[in-house]
Amino acid sequence: MPLKFPLGARLITHSLPSTRLASMNSGALIYSFRSVPVLSKAFPFRLNYLGLVSRVNFSTRPERTGPIRASKSLIEDEAELSDWVSDLRTSSMRGKFTSDEDNSVPEVVRRNVDRNDNRGPRRGTGREGVSDRFGGSKRGMEGEVDRFGGSNRRRTSNEPADSFRNKRLGGREGVRNGRVQGKSSESSLRGRNERNVDSGFTRERGLENNRGLGKQTRGLRQEEEESSDEDEKRVVLGSIDDLLSEDSSDEDDLDDEPLIKKAASAKAVETDKPRSEHVKTSDSYLSKTRFDQFPLSPLSLKAIKDAGFETMTVVQEATLPIILKGKDVLAKAKTGTGKTVAFLLPSIEAVLNSPPASRDNRQPPIVVLVVCPTRELASQAAAEANTLLKYHSSIGVQVVIGGTKLPTEQRRLQTNPCQILMATPGRLKDHIENTSGFATRLMGVKVLVLDEADHLLDMGFRRDIERIIAAVPKQRQTFLFSATVPEEVRQICHVALKRDHEFINCVQEGTGETHQKVTQMYMIASLDRHFSLLYVLLKEHIADNVDYKVIIFCTTAMVTRLVADLLSQLSLNVREIHSRKPQSYRTRVSDEFRKSKGIILVTSDVSARGVDYPDVSLVVQMGLPSDREQYIHRLGRTGRKGKEGEGVLLLAPWEEYFMSSVKDLPITKSPLPPIDPEAVKRVQKGLSQVEMKNKEAAYQAWLGYYKSQKMIARDTTRLVELANEFSRSMGLDAPPAIPKNVIGKMGLKNVPGIRTK
Ligand SMILES: Nc1ncnc2c1ncn2[C@@H]1O[C@H](COP(=O)(O)OP(=O)(O)OP(=O)(O)O)[C@@H](O)[C@H]1O
């Protein structure tokens, strides 16, 4: 079933958390952060999470299951951000947010603290473009075959695969590098901020339920995906891809005593359980802790049972007791390990513990505000919330995500009030500023969640996030969740979190942020071989996996369209998603892909984070990922819920420098598979059938994307040479001419090799 990675590639394992919270068998690492001076004005507040459940009176139930579930959609996000803004990001963030935070001294409250953080540089992102076409002709397949054991024959997952990859990779046991590093850079870093208390669990401070306040900071500009109007805004902001677009458009603990009580007496818990019980020996994303070991609403527990969740995931087990004690939390856990439920369950408890709204209050307070970077994620979180709220008929969920007219959402908010609101930043800000009574409702917020927090705190979203934080009460609880928490984010998380927040790191030291069951490899090939290589890889994967489900990430929307067009011409079962597709289309394709097998999704970074597609067998990343985090999140679309998966990163030789940013991840360099001349011919033919305007747009978008990559863009002559190489790889004799204004915006005026129109 899997790609035949070098044998050695499968030998590298990275066990999940081997250390765990004394009371809960989890492997999370918890750091408690001390204040920075500016946050010393924290004031106490207590949420009675342990108290009896009180019900809210207003019902929003009917609307909840309708429009919310119907509103799943794929969104554009960072791919939408301006490269120019991205280029400013790293330096600005560092310059601006280091002073106070550098003095903060987090307190480690767990033993066996993992030191595993990010080191990679953060970079700009791609942009999106236009398109609408999939399905594809059946041309081009006849006669192609044997290389793959028959053109249409697929092996079942149990069949042995006798393919070129066995030969190609079988002799490469020694090749795999399995680089597992990461201590050194980190220890120096954490040495500044944290202590490793190796004597157990000492968290008295956490029992106080003190509430701090999120500091509000000055804003940096933000840009989001919200609507076609927003898309237009992005054009103004200089996204090259936008400029090029024509249509603008992710058990044995049988003690039934609620674990929160155990957590409240951490030392006692430590003696209750021998340490050995706290060591996980597998890569399981699940813990052995049952949900009913926590003081959760019986109705929530019933819904959890209905959902088929038997035990908690590691991140759920690790965060819940801390959150239930009223602490702010920054949680890092690998992709596909249940972070959404981790923040939703205690959020529901917060609603239940809130005083019931007055019956004549037509604008009942929003108690829980969940902010997600994309529409898809907000909708997905709402769907997950609805699963958990199955028996909580009095709790309503709404989504404000853009993609629809603001007045439509305004009406919905008014007619179907909710206590839990999922939102994307831009649209949320719109409501704060333009929806009557909305700001008042936000004053009821007791829980603020930033999903994909590192991304939301990044430059692109910062200004809106700061505006949002300013709009909710300082007396609140805040949860930040992500699979990646780069150091820059650690340094600025005080923007949202209280000074005594806890950092719960479910990523074990040395494992990196990726899953051991996901084999990763990268290939270095000249651009002119990329399309053929992709075709060969796909054909092989399809031959080996009867239920293949592949995601191909491309650098920009226009390149996404090009690749989707090509693969369609090659008679592969392809769909495409990127920001320039209409919302309804993205929703439909997303739903289809979620449910389907034997399908390939070509996508831009709109699908990189958080999207929960089950059973993705292979993720291919074509070209440079915007940064280390993006590589991890993209890869995280496979190997979810402890499943196996494969990842291939396809780079040109001059992109290989990227590998230094992921050197701690177990990525194997693979030799190139032989490319059958027949396959080359088919690809060439396929390319010749792709519309010229799509190639032109892809060329320009490609140029725009790589112009945003500093390492490549600093030599503009070389950049244009490379772009022209890409042009040739599409079968073009001469590079497409680019409008003058676009060339000017890209700073490529008079660069040799560029053609102006
Ligand atoms: N306790 C559990 N047992 C089994 N499945 C669970 C449990 N909790 C959540 N899940 C499921 O696991 C899947 C992945 O969850 P989720 O999307 O929240 O992952 P994530 O950690 O947020 O991933 P990403 O970092 O990619 O956003 C979902 O389908 C969710 O319903």
pLDDT tens sequence across 537-591: 999 999 999 999 999 999 999 999 999 999 999 999 999 999 888 878 988 999 9
Q: How far apart are CA 484 and CA 129, in angstroms?
A: 27
The one-letter amino acid code at 19 reads: T
Helix, strand, or coil (residue 175): coil
Q: Count the neighbouring beta carbons within 10 Å of the beta carbon of residue 741.
A: 9
Structure tokens belonging to residue 349 = 């408890």
Higher confidence at residue 121 or residue 4? Answer: 4
Give yes or no for residue 612 having a pLDDT over 90: yes
Q: What is the DSSP letter of 286?
A: B
Distance between Cα 343 and ligand 1 center (Å): 11
* CA within 13 Å, CB half, 471: 24
Paired sense of beta strands 502-505 and 518-524, if any: unpaired
335 lines ligand 1 (CB under 6 A): yes
Give yes or no for residue 320 having a pLDDT over 80: yes
Q: What is the DSSP letter of 206?
A: G
Give yes or no for residue 510 having a pLDDT over 90: no
226 lines ligand 1 (CB under 6 A): no
Which positions ≥6 away from 109 have C-beta within 8 Å? 30, 31, 32, 197, 201, 202, 203, 206, 502
Q: How far apart are CA 31 and CA 111, in angstroms?
A: 10
| For the ranges 59-63, 262-266, 669-673, the one whose mean pLDDT is highest | 669-673
Q: What are 503's strand-pairing partners?
A: 31, 330
Higher confidence at residue 392 or residue 403? Answer: 392
513 lines ligand 1 (CB under 6 A): no
**Segment among 77-86, 369-378, 470-479, 747-756 with least mean pLDDT:** 77-86
Pick the closest to residue 56 from 347, 362, 351, 391 (CA basis): 351
pLDDT band for 336, please (50, 70, 90 cuts).
very high
Rounded to 5 degrees, φ, ψ at 141 are: -100, -25
Q: Count the neighbouring beta carbons within 10 Å of the beta carbon of residue 283.
A: 18
455 lines ligand 1 (CB under 6 A): no
Atom of ligand 1 nearest to the CA of 384: 31
Question: Per residue in 191-227, pLDDT tens?
Answer: 223 322 222 222 222 222 332 222 222 222 222 333 3
**In which element (H, E) is residue 746 found?**
helix 740-746
290 lines ligand 1 (CB under 6 A): no
Pick the closest to residue 377 from 61, 64, 76 (CA basis): 76
Question: Per residue in 702-726, pLDDT tens?
Answer: 999 999 998 998 899 999 999 999 9
Q: How far apart are CA 652 and CA 86, in angstroms?
A: 23
Distance between Cα 314 and ligand 1 center (Å): 11
The one-letter amino acid code at 747 reads: G
**Lateral strand order in the sheet of 518-524:** 574-577, 599-603, 549-553, 618-622, 645-651, 518-524, 667-669
Rounded to 5 degrees, φ, ψ at 313 are: -75, 165
Pick the closest to residue 112 from 250, 280, 234, 228 (CA basis): 280
Rounded to 5 degrees, φ, ψ at 112 are: 50, 50
Give yes or no for residue 433 having a pLDDT over 70: yes
Pick the closest to residue 129 from 581, 625, 459 (CA basis): 581
285 lines ligand 1 (CB under 6 A): no
Residue 750 Ramachandran class (φ > 0 left, ψ -120 to 50 alpha, else beta): left
Mean pLDDT computed over 13-37: 38
Pick the closest to residue 539 from 69, 146, 43 (CA basis): 146
Of 612, 616, 630, best ligand 1 pocket probe by most atoms within 8 Å of the beta carbon: 612
